[in-house]
């Protein structure tokens, strides 16, 4: 792509304050406030006054176009009269009468700007409200009662949950989910005690059971040894550790103004979205020599997380989840626990999203921000070559971390955005929580004669093989918008000069992507470096200004390309995609992922 093309980068890795309520005080990228969410609810409900059972599946900030934001920022940083803030708008996806509708609301004029009936095959995110209702349906369903009676289970100890079911070539699909159940009975670790073989199919629009299976009976795994609550644990206990104090006598080293954060040489904005979760925007770093901030990242977030399980049997084949587009990474964020999720020197920010009825829901302590020092070294050198002198210099590695935890079902995802004084932005992912398990008849591996699609980890308990593919949207603005994507290959060269005893060396051969096809990258096969550069900005020595993309361990999907889950998750076919900036192309799995067919993914956009 040439230098005038804005680069938006997607990288797939596997594993791996109070709100100002006055609009004139809000930053244009601030998430919607509780009063704004209430306003959206009122306006939408008044627009559809006769509709019943109207549900809100998504309400978020309708961000101003990027050029508007940049012009506003530029005017604020100059001596000329600042431009007025861009119009503040909200985007909502609501559903009634089995139809999804997109609505754009102007929050300043209290009016609806546009409406659109959603077409296509996919559906919006599931709401917590409809999941809660659907999960209770089996308890009044006679065949399910018989299934519990047959197994001798106490109904009061049974807990059920909803699971999306994907698309597997059906011509027509409804908003159906599977409801599977677990037997708690002396443990909070529900997922360790599944009622295997039993599942109900629920139509979310009609909110009724439309299918039911009780295919076989296997033992419910024992509760003993599955409890994880500290207050319930029994000896033997692990070793005790002495406390480690984290103190900042002078107070925090960062400042925040609403959702804008300043620390060391960094400025950036922290946003929130019900679907994406944390959004980092407008990251810039201060240049001491030039005495000004230089742009690095316009916007970064996780647009999708694909989790395919590898059991093709009736009870498990559909477990190929899209945790962002189906369940909502943002609405699944947990309240962070001081001293455990975050250190003592952390500051916290709340988040708000619209519930299924449109009313604001508060996530207390949704974000924590803290300075981190773990005893690491950022830079050091010891010089012993100077006669009669030893020089040692070292710089400690202190960074600023923005952290959230999103709990989707049995998994807790710890997401860190870490800013370093040396100009690096490091994105960390931690997977914790508890395993989603399958019940079986085996108690020892000697009994297993066929593929069980996982590992026997306890009596009657199988951990199914599965993957986690995190996708990152990184809209890099390195010293401005005119960026290019460069792949630098390390190539071996045979020496032809007989004046040296060396026979070979390696050199760098750089290729600038001219098309989107040029920038589809799978890492790991050849030594290479990935860079985003600004060809119009150069160092004193003439090198292009740029940032390197330093991936961690990479992995590639092992599903066949014609397998239905992989069709829907075609964005995992490459580790890196580069596309021109397009405001509407931010969800790599498509705008509507539930039961989608893969016809609105980045794999399709890149062909246009």
Catalytic residue (one of 58, 309, 411, 581)? 411
Tell me, yes or no, if 373 is annotated catalytic. no
Q: Which residues, in sequence order, are CB contacts of 553 under 8 Å at separation 6+?
A: 13, 14, 16
Query: Would you list the DSSP string of 114-140?
Result: EEEE--SS-B-PPPHHHHHHHHHGGGG
Query: Would you list the DSSP string of 411-446?
Result: EEEEEEEEE-TTS-EEEEEEEEE---EEE-S-SSGG
CA distance 92 to 111: 13
Q: Which residues, in sequence order, are CB contacts of 562 under 8 Å at separation 6+?
A: none
CA distance 307 to 565: 10
- Determine what percent of the chain falls in helix, strand and coil, rounding each to the nearest 5: 15, 40, 45
Contact yes or no for 311/331 (Cβ under 8 A):
no
How far, CA to CA in Å, does 390 sit from each of 67, 378, 384, 395?
A: 54, 20, 5, 17
What the block records as the tokens of 178 is 């599977």
Q: Is 392 exposed, middle or buried (0-12, 13-18, 19+ CB in 10 A)?
A: exposed
Tell me, yes or no, if 214 is annotated catalytic. no
Q: Which residues, in sequence order, are CB contacts of 213 under 8 Å at separation 6+?
A: 197, 198, 199, 200, 314, 315
Contact yes or no for 58/127 (Cβ under 8 A):
no
Q: Looking at the DSSP assignment, which residues form a beta bridge with residue 255? A: 262
- Residue 346 phi, psi (nearest 5): -85, 145
Catalytic residue (one of 30, 62, 273, 323)? 323
Helix (H) or strand (E) holding 605: helix 602-605
Contact yes or no for 89/23 (Cβ under 8 A):
no
Catalytic residues: 323, 411
């Amino acid at each position: 792509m040439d230098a005038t093309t804005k680069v938006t980068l997607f990288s797939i890795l596997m594993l791996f304050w109070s709100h100002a309520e006055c609009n004139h005080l809000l930053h244009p990228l601030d998430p919607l406030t509780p009063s704004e969410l209430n306003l959206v609810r009122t306006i939408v409900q008044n627009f559809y006054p006769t509709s019943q059972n109207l549900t809100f599946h998504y309400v978020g900030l309708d961000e101003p176009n990027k050029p508007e934001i940049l012009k506003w920022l530029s005017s604020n940083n100059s001596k000329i009269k600042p431009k007025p803030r861009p119009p503040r708008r909200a985007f909502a996806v609501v559903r009634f009468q089995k139809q999804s509708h997109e609505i754009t609301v102007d929050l300043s004029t209290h009016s609806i700007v546009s409406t659109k009936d959603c077409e296509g095959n996919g559906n919006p995110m599931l709401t917590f409200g409809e999941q809660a209702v659907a999960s209770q349906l089996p308890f009044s369903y006679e065949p399910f009662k018989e299934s519990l009676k047959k197994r001798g289970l106490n109904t009061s100890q049974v807990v059920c949950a909803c699971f999306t079911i994907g698309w597997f070539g059906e011509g027509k699909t409804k908003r159906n989910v599977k409801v599977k159940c677990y037997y708690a009975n002396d443990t909070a670790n529900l997922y360790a005690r599944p009622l295997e073989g039993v599942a109900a199919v629920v139509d979310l629009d009609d909110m009724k059971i439309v299918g039911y299976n009780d295919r076989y009976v296997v033992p419910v795994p024992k509760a003993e040894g599955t409890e994880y609550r500290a207050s319930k644990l029994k000896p033997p206990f692990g070793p005790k550790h002495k406390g480690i104090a984290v103190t900042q006598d002078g107070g925090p080293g960062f400042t925040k103004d609403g959702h804008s954060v300043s620390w060391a040489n960094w400025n950036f904005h922290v946003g929130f979205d019900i679907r994406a979760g944390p959004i980092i925007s407008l990251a810039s770093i201060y240049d001491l020599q030039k005495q000004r901030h230089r742009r690095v990242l316009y916007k970064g977030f996780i647009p999708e997380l694909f989790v395919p399980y590898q059991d093709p049997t009736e009870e498990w084949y559909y477990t190929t989840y899209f945790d962002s587009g189906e369940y909502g990474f943002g609405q699944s964020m947990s309240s962070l626990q001081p001293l455990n999720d975050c250190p003592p020197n952390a500051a916290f920010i709340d988040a708000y999203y619209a519930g299924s009825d449109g009313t604001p829901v508060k996530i207390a302590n949704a974000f924590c921000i803290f300075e981190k020092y773990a005893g690491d070294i950022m830079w050091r050198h010891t010089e012993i070559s100077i006669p009669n002198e030893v020089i040692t210099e070292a710089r400690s590695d202190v960074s600023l971390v923005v952290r959230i935890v999103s709990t989707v079902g049995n998994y807790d995802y710890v997401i860190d955005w870490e800013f370093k004084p040396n100009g690096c932005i490091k994105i960390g992912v931690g997977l914790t929580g508890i395993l989603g398990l399958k019940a079986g008849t085996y108690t020892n591996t000697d009994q297993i004669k066929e593929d069980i699609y996982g590992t026997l980890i306890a009596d009657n308990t199988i951990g199914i093989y599965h993957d986690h593919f995190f996708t990152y949207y990184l809209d890099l603005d390195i010293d401005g918008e005119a960026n290019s994507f460069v792949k630098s290959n390390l190539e071996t060269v045979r020496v032809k000069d007989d004046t040296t005893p060396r026979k070979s060396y390696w050199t760098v051969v750089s290729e600038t992507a001219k098309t989107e096809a040029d920038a589809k990258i799978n890492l790991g096969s050849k030594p290479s470096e990935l860079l985003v550069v600004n060809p119009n900005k150069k160092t004193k020595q003439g090198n292009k200004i740029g940032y390197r993309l330093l991936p961690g361990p990479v992995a590639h999907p092992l599903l066949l390309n014609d397998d239905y889950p992989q069709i829907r998750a075609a964005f995992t076919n490459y580790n890196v995609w580069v596309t021109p900036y397009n405001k509407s192309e931010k969800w790599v799995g498509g705008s509507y992922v539930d039961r989608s067919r893969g016809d609105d993914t980045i794999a399709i956009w890149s062909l246009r």
